[in-house]
Chain A
Amino acid sequence: MSLRTELGATDKVADQHEIPTGTTVVRDLPPDTHNTWEQRVEAVVAVAREHADDVDRQGRFPHEAIGECRRQRIFGAVVPQARGGRAVSIVELCALIEELGRVCGSTAAIVAMHFSQELCLTRHVDLEQESALTAVTERVAAEQWLLASSTTEKNIGGDTRTSSCAVVENGDGTVTVCKSAPVISYARYADAILVTARRHPEAPSSEQVLVVAPKSALKLDRTTPWDALGLRGTMSEGFELEATVSADHVLPVDFATISSHTMLPASHTLWASSWLGLASAAGDLARKFVQKKARATPGELPPGALRLAELEIELQRMTDVVRVNVRRFADQADDVSVLGSMPFAIAMNTLKVSTSELVRQIVGDAMVIVGIASYSNTGPWSLARPLRDAMGPSLQVNNDRILKNTATLQMVSRGRR
């Protein structure tokens, strides 16, 4: 039996929340509430918190929290109001991801990845004009489409700026992209996938475009399962992907620009926000633990107090680096001379490396403070899930790859920050 047949036979494939390839789900959404953005965020966080442990234990898609995102009309939040969205700012978006990161790393990761793709549409499609991509962007808001991303490719790995697969013209106004993707997070549950590919079969590996493939235009053949240490709900399985879309589903801007102006800074600021949530929640637990001890012995600092003070240094450092860089991207988001500059690229690189290492360190240190109760897989003091989730960030796009890129830039940098 081939691996693929074997995978196809597991009941995980037959998931009632999966969106079957080649179809479009007509989603029956309840009427929108008049909730404020804050109330919407609160509702989603509450649902994510309730199901986080089960999502982790079963290694399943967090359909309750994503369903609540749809009920609260979270998707489409950065789409302009004229196209049915709510024009939420990058700062507000990162705050949402941070709150989700406090309660469920997987949900935070999925919503973060969705918005890194949604921003590619809202920032690189001319939404003043009617077009196929404008229509897709409107559907993200109106039908609460969840967007996934396929950049990683077999034999190329996490280097998003290189593709082997290419956009092939079929001669009838449609184009096809076939990609061997070792990982596409939540691909089976997404309404559309944004796929990088070379512009045409003769183009060099760096001349890439971004193709929007709605589920109705996709074939996904699962090649590898997702049974990972942490972030288990992201369902980051491997696929053979085939998409045939009309040629107007290719974004008009080259991917090099989309990547440096939007996808990289959006991904790094959104991801870092989710890790900050993860680290902050672990820090809160450690603080609560030491405070509980302190109440039993007033006048005498409990054993973990100095460690807690040390942890605060790391938490403050992480909070500052995330806040400053979220603000940096938000403030400069429309200034292409900044977005394309070397200091900006270096800042986003260092944001990723420093925060992914800090989250690992902070959650681990929080565990040392709380002690054996945090080592348990269950119970109010457990840090098991956050610890496992915190190991992923340094690996997903390996920090060494990002450091190597930064090192190259350092060879010509003049040190401006």
Chain B
Amino acid sequence: MSQDRSQLVETIRDVVAQHAHLSSDAASLSASESLYTAGMTSHASVNVMLGVEDAFDIEFPEEMLTKETFESLDSIAQAVATLQDEQ
């Protein structure tokens, strides 16, 4: 994982810790672990989306607003990286 990418994941981890209301500690999550299995409800996932948009000053397009995008720290990082590349 590149330096940039791991920095990305850590920023997302902070957002997840604040908004996902997981039943486990966000600090111990692996990057590929399912956030839904860790207890993130669909309601909480909306707050994670908003938090990530704010943290990176981006706006997810409609086609990225799926359950899959917010499945794990990695999948969110992938989406953010894609959007940053486009900018």
**Residues of A near any B CB (own CB < 8 A):** 161-162, 204-207, 256, 260, 337, 340-343, 405, 408-409, 411-414, 416
Contact = CB atoms under 8 A, between A and B. Distances in A.
Q: Which 10 A-B pairs have the closest CB atoms?
A: A204-B39, A204-B23, A414-B62, A206-B41, A416-B62, A408-B46, A412-B49, A342-B65, A340-B67, A408-B43
A206 B41 CA distance: 6
A412 B60 contact: yes
Contact of B38 (A161, A204, A414): A204
Given A341-B66, A405-B43, A414 B61 contact: yes
A411 B22 CA distance: 21
Which label, helix, strand, loop or mixed, suits the secondary structure of the B interface?
loop
Interface string B40-63: 111100100110010000001110
Given A204-B39, A340-B67, A414-B65, 11 more contacts: A162-B41, A205-B39, A256-B42, A337-B66, A340-B68, A342-B62, A342-B66, A408-B46, A412-B46, A412-B53, A416-B62
B37 interface: yes
A413 to B, nearest CB: 8
Most B CB within 10 A of own CB, among A343, A412, A414, A416 = A412
A207 B23 CA distance: 11
Most B CB within 10 A of own CB, among A343, A405, A408 = A408
B46 to A, nearest CB: 5
B36 A207 contact: yes
Given A161-B42, A206-B41, A256-B36, A411 B50 contact: yes
B46 A411 contact: yes
A313 B50 CA distance: 39
A340 B64 CA distance: 12
27 contacts: A161-B42, A162-B41, A204-B23, A204-B39, A205-B39, A205-B41, A206-B36, A206-B39, A206-B40, A206-B42, A207-B39, A256-B42, A256-B67, A340-B66, A340-B67, A341-B65, A342-B62, A342-B65, A405-B43, A408-B43, A411-B46, A412-B46, A412-B53, A412-B60, A412-B65, A414-B61, A414-B62
Nearest to B43: A408
Interface residues of B, number: 21
A162 B23 CA distance: 14
A416 B63 CA distance: 10
Most A CB within 10 A of own CB, among B23, B36, B42, B60 = B42
Most B CB within 10 A of own CB, among A206, A340, A408, A409 = A206
Nearest to B66: A340
Contacts of B41: 161-162, 205-206
Most B CB within 10 A of own CB, among A204, A343, A416 = A204
Contacts of B60: 412
Contact of B62 (A161, A204, A343): A343
A340 B70 CA distance: 13
B41 to A, nearest CB: 5
B72 to A, nearest CB: 15
A128 B71 CA distance: 29
Contacts of A341: 65-66
B49 to A, nearest CB: 5
Nearest to A206: B41
Contacts of B62: 342-343, 414, 416
B37 A207 contact: yes
A341 B23 CA distance: 25
Most A CB within 10 A of own CB, among B22, B43, B68 = B43
B71 to A, nearest CB: 11
Contacts of A205: 39, 41
Contacts of B22: 204
Most A CB within 10 A of own CB, among B36, B60, B61, B68 = B36
A178 B61 CA distance: 42
Contacts of B68: 340
Nearest to A409: B46
Nearest to A407: B46
B37 to A, nearest CB: 6
